[in-house]
A and B are shown apart, each in its own frame.
Chain A
Amino acid sequence: MEKHMAVCPYCGTGCKLNLLVEGGKVVGAEPLNGVTNEGELCLKGYFGYDFINDTKILTPRLRNPMLRRSRDAAFEAVSWDEAIQYAAKKLGEIKAKYGPDSIMTTGSSRGTGNETNYVMQKFTRAVLGTNNVDNCARVCHGPSVAGLQVTLGNGAMSNSIPEIENTKCVLVFGYNVADSHPVIAKRIIRAKERGAKIIVCDPRKIETARLADLWLPLNNGSNMALVNAFANILINEGLYDKEYVANHTEGFDEYRKIVEKYTPEYAEAITGLPADDIREAMRIYAAAPSATILWGMGVTQWGQGVDVVKGLSGLALLTGNLGRPNVGVGPVRGQNNVQGSCDMGVLPTEFPGYQKVTDPEIRDKFAKAWGVPSLPGEIGYRLTDVPHLAETGKLKAMYVMGEDPAQTEPDLTQVRKGFEAMEFVIVQDIFMTKTAMFADLILPATSWGEHEGVFSAADRSFQRFTKAVDAKGDVKHDWEIISLLATAMGYPMHYNNTKEIWDELRGLCPIFYGATYEKMEGLGAVPWPCRDLDSPGSKYLYEGNVFQRPGGKGLLFATEWRPPQDKLNDEFPLILCTVREVGHYSCRSMTGNCAALQTLADEPGYVTINPKDAKALGIRDQELVWVSSRRGKVISRASVTDRTNKGAVYMTYQWWIGACNELTIHAVDPIAKTPEYKYAAVRVEAIADQVWAENYVQQEYAKLKGGLSKAVTGAAKKAPAYA
């Protein structure tokens, strides 16, 4: 048996593991003693590898480039040469006719790695000539990056994952760590065992709430009011660190004025929390000698995400919980390499290494390095703008790599209309996805396990992963495909391996410069910033309480609470909040093809509902139900549980039949453009004929899987002479 070192492709914990290979097939995974996982793996880490082997449980791996010459035609397998020439010609025509800003690309925050993301944004900027490149941080921790960059100067976790277990207080805000990052959950459990106080702010009784010293089940959509009340208490009760605030922050007077009215009693009316519980939370937080705030999508997937992120960083600034070990602010990244795709500048605002596209000197540096006369200085489009831009004719072509927006974006009806309105869609993926069904050209890439590279863990640690098996079929590495396309469009691009790409990019990014492949050999992890070749990197940021802002001080920021945007009424009386579950990941194209994970949970997935709401609707546990919003209607299975608060229902976003994003609203944060996935007004209805409903699910599921499978097998059968 062979063993090949990898970094887990699920979640941002960055667990190191060995893939076990027999006869060219991955047959197992075993944990390694990596910096962040220390010999542990979770459900997905242990049992989430068999998708590589093309199990066809949900959808088949892509084996050939596939082209559809008109939208009503079936896909046909074509040669790489034809695929690349076709793509180059179409993109060239669209660019010439409508301008470079009529084309958009995506990076991938998943298995492809940092080098590919670097190459994709280079292609977008240097070859297409636009900053229209984005990644799914937009629908996830985009507000954390935008918010923290303003208040502290750096959008990432301030401290490292291992430090969590040494903090004396963990404030968990809108973050279901047990389902999102099980191996980080262990750090919190260990912190508790070592005497840390745990405070959990979440409307649901999540696993962490069970072990919390104080659980604040706030009303859905009241985050800003609670965070302001926290600041109010810290100031009014004199719990804040006056010296720290005086020396290391700015904006205190304005901040104080805004939070003045958010007394615990005032917040009680908005949050539904007893004023004394809100006080107690801040007394615990302020009393701890070291305290860490961790948050997730419960903070960011709101129309007011950026503001709340800024508010949370304010609590850390007020109490001096930054700039040293075992403290800080932690937006814990969900997808395995969403930190990396941001690091690599797959963002419409930034070059790799968080260098602004609006800065002419930075643009000149990259233009010179990339051998082009100039680079675009206008900020590009965001991923969530795409449906609207396509429908209004501003966006004509899209090159989607390793993402499935037709599953993961809000209000899927709009997303589909957007794709249909575009003239040319390229999807580069490892699986036939719902998004790939809208493509004109499908480019098949190698999977995690079939290539090597570097991922960034949630705590900024760069770690290398290696190849375990050879890819089957006529597929290529993502970065090779992009290079071929660039070359065909008149910009010669060639790399022999990922190290060449890595060395090019670290040469252009001062904060990554010292993170060499050699340092990341084996179990090595290098947290950026790592500016020098002899530096081990930075476990925590803001050493000496110097913030990466002009003047070096942290900004205290508060603003008024805004209510969520969708409106409840008699027709749609319940709040739908979309969440995650431990056994499935992202759009589910990977975990849906893993036998163990599909065995534990399959379509149509669950809508969890409080027993009181269920009883009023005549719904029993495990029955199929309809869930509808102003935007759509889907079938799901009721899970009646006291852990779900009354008045709200929760669905996980990876189901293809019970697809909650048919229901979600396209209402976004004004700054980060992140959608309000956490609040859609819905109605849940019982279905009288359960036998019919069970059959309906099976039929719809079979139809969906059949369609995806046929798209691939049909194209292979029609394979032309080259094959």
Chain B
Amino acid sequence: MNRFVTANPSKCIGCRTCEVACALAHSKGAGVEGLAPDSFKPRIRMVKTADVSTAVMCHHCEDAPCVNSCPNNAIVYRQHSVQVEQERCLGCKNCVLACPFGVMDVVTVPAVRQFAGMTLSLGVKAQAHKCDLCVDRESGPACVSVCPTSALTLMDRDAMDETLRRRRERAAQEAAEVAA
């Protein structure tokens, strides 16, 4: 099973700590002082409507529409998750349209090449931009570790099994109460 981060709207307070942690985890060590409104592109987004506050992010689907829609095989299943091989991304946005959760985006970043000690501009490089579960981060997804109300959890096979077990128990209990 692919792992994914799940958000509990009954615990979310809409504070966006997860968004900042996400942007920082992907800042290549630039730190908070590297953050600025124009370049702020967290892969998790807090959504606030009249009745709901919660974070939305990639579900790492088992049969992912983004993977299926990519003409260049840039999106792959790896480490029990859906990952983007950025060097293969064309920026065609098929995946953006295919994602039913609105959590895939295509962003452009300046492309550069080092040559003889100089930095040469190669225009821009497109990137399919979504949650990568912080796969290279030792302590797991940054958003999960900072959420002040523990509204975010990393769902893997074990956590999923535990959730299902609890739900089944509750269902059984409720069935017994109905019968009584």
Residues of A within 8 A of B (CB): 27-28, 40-43, 46-47, 49-50, 53, 55, 178-179, 182-183, 185-186, 189, 205, 207, 210-211, 582-583, 594-596, 598-600, 602, 641-643
Q: Which residues of A contact B21 (CB under 8 A)?
A: 46
Chain B residues in 8 Å Cβ range of A207: 12-14, 53
| Residue numbers in A under 8 Å from B10 (CB-CB) | 189, 210-211
* Partner pick for B50 among A178, A582, A602, A643, CB 8 A cutoff: A643
Give the interface residue-count category, chain B: 20 to 34
Is B86 in the interface zone, CB < 8 Å from A?
Answer: no
Measured between beta carbons, the chain A residues less than 8 angstroms from B48 are: 641, 643
Q: B31 on the interface (CB 8 Å rule)?
A: yes
Cβ-defined partner of A594 (8 Å) among B24, B32, B37: B32
User: CB-defined interface of B35-52 with A at 8 Å, one 1/0 digit per residue?
Assistant: 111001000000011111
The answer to whether the Cβ of B149 comes within 8 Å of any Cβ in the partner chain is yes
If A182-B149, A210-B53, A211-B10 touch, does A599 touch B36 (CB 8 Å cutoff)?
yes
Hey, which chain A residues are within 8 Å of B52, CB to CB? 210
Report which of B12, B16, B34, B150 forms a contact with A43, defined as CB distance below 8 A: B16
Say what secondary structure dominates the interface of chain B. loop
Q: Is B53 a contact of A183 with CB atoms below 8 Å?
A: no
Task: Contacts A46-B17, A595-B33 given; indicate if A186 touches B148 (C-beta within 8 A).
Answer: yes
Given contacts A595-B35, A596-B20, contact A42 B14 (CB under 8 A): no
A-B contact pairs, 13 of them (CB 8 A): A27-B31, A41-B146, A42-B15, A43-B148, A178-B15, A185-B149, A186-B149, A210-B10, A595-B34, A596-B20, A596-B24, A598-B37, A602-B37
Residue of chain B at shortest CB distance from A192: B10
Which of B21, B31, B149 has the most CB atoms of chain A within a 10 A radius of its CB? B149
Contacts of A211 in B (CB 8 A): 10
A41 to B, closest residue via Cβ: B148
B168 at the interface (CB under 8 A from A): no
Beta-carbon contact of A189 and B37 below 8 Å = no
Nearest CB in chain B: distance from A585 CB, A:
13
User: Do residues A182 and B13 form an inter-chain contact, with CB atoms below 8 A?
Assistant: yes
| Cα(A276)–Cα(B160), bound, Å | 42
Most chain A CB inside 10 Å of its own CB: which residue of B15, B37, B146: B15
What's the minimum C-beta distance from A212 to chain B, rounded to whole angstroms?
11
B138 to chain A, nearest CB (A): 14
- Asked, given contacts A599-B35, A602-B37, whether A46 binds B146 with beta carbons under 8 Å apart, the answer is yes
CA distance A583 to B53 in the complex (A): 16
B167 beta carbon closer than 8 Å to chain A:
no
Which of A46, A210, A583, A596 lies in contact with B35, CB distance below 8 A? A596
Once bound together, how far apart are the Cα atoms of A148 and B31, in whole Å? Answer: 45
For residue A378, give the distance in angstroms from its CB to the closest CB of chain B. 45
B157 to chain A, nearest CB (A): 25
Q: Which 5 A-B pairs have the closest CB atoms?
A: A642-B50, A178-B13, A43-B17, A42-B148, A186-B149
Query: In this complex, which of B17, B20, B40, B53 has the most chain A Cβ atoms within 10 angstroms of its Cβ?
Result: B17
Contacting residues of chain B (94-109) with chain A, CB-CB under 8 angstroms? none
Given A595-B32, A642-B50, 20 new contacts (CB under 8 A):
A27-B31, A42-B17, A43-B15, A43-B17, A43-B148, A46-B20, A46-B21, A47-B32, A49-B32, A50-B33, A205-B50, A207-B13, A207-B14, A210-B10, A583-B16, A596-B20, A596-B24, A596-B32, A600-B19, A642-B49
**A516 to B163, alpha carbons, bound, how many Å?**
47
A582 (CB) vs chain B CBs: closest residue? B15
Residues A183 and B148 in contact in the complex (CB < 8 Å), given A27-B31, A42-B15, A43-B17: yes
Bound complex: CA A394 to CA B112 (Å):
66
Residues of B within 8 A of A50 (CB): 32-33
Question: In the assembled complex, how far is the CB of residue B172 from the closest CB belonging to chain A, in whole angstroms?
Answer: 21
The distance in angstroms between the C-alpha atoms of A642 and B146, with both chains bound, is 29
Closest to A643 in B: B50
Chain B contacts for A46, CB-based, 8 A: 17, 20-21, 146
Cα of A602 to Cα of B36 in the assembled complex, Å: 11
Please determine whether B13 and A600 come into contact, CB atoms closer than 8 angstroms.
no
Bound-state CA distance A647–B37 (Å) is: 32
A449 to chain B, nearest CB (A): 14
Q: Which residue of B lies closest to A642 (CB)?
A: B50
Contacts of B146 in A (CB 8 A): 41, 46
Which residues from A are CB-within-8-Å of B37? 598-599, 602
User: Is B11 part of the binding interface, using a Cβ–Cβ cutoff of 8 Å?
Assistant: yes
Q: Give B155-174 interface residues, CB cut-off 8 Å to A.
A: none
A652–B178 Cα distance when bound, in Å, is: 50
Partner of B148, one of A28, A185, A595, A642: A185
CB-CB under 8 A from B13, the residues of chain A are: 178-179, 182, 185, 207, 582
Chain B residues lying within 8 Å of A599, measured Cβ to Cβ, are: 20, 35-37, 40
Knowing A43-B17, A210-B51 touch, does A182 contact B32 (C-beta < 8 A)?
A: no
In the docked arrangement, what's the CA distance between A178 and B151, Å?
Answer: 13
> Which residue of A28, A47, A186 is within 8 Å of B20 (Cβ)?
A47
Collect the chain A residues with CB atoms within 8 Å of residue B19's CB: 600
The CA-CA distance from A182 to B49 in the complex, in Å, is: 19
With a cutoff of 8 Å between Cβ atoms, the chain A residues found around residue B149 in the complex are 182, 185-186, 189
CA distance A182 to B147 in the complex (A): 10
Docked Cα-Cα span, A301 to B134, in Å, equals 44
Please, how many angstroms separate the alpha-carbon atoms of A1 and B103 in the complex?
Answer: 36
| Cα of A599 to Cα of B52 in the assembled complex, Å | 23
In the bound complex, how far is the Cα of B51 from the Cα of A641, in angstroms? Answer: 10
Report the separation of the CA atoms of residues A642 and B49 in the bound assembly, to the nearest whole angstrom.
8
Closest to B8 in A: A189
CB distance from A230 to the nearest CB of B (A): 26
- CB contacts (< 8 Å) of A185 on chain B: these are 13, 148-149
Q: B residues within 8 A CB of A596?
A: 20, 24, 32, 35
Q: Report the bound CA distance from A53 to B31 in whole Å.
A: 13
Interface centre among B11, B33, B148 (most CB of A within 10 A): B148
Provide the residues of chain A in CB contact with B33, threshold 8 Å.
Answer: 50, 53, 55, 595
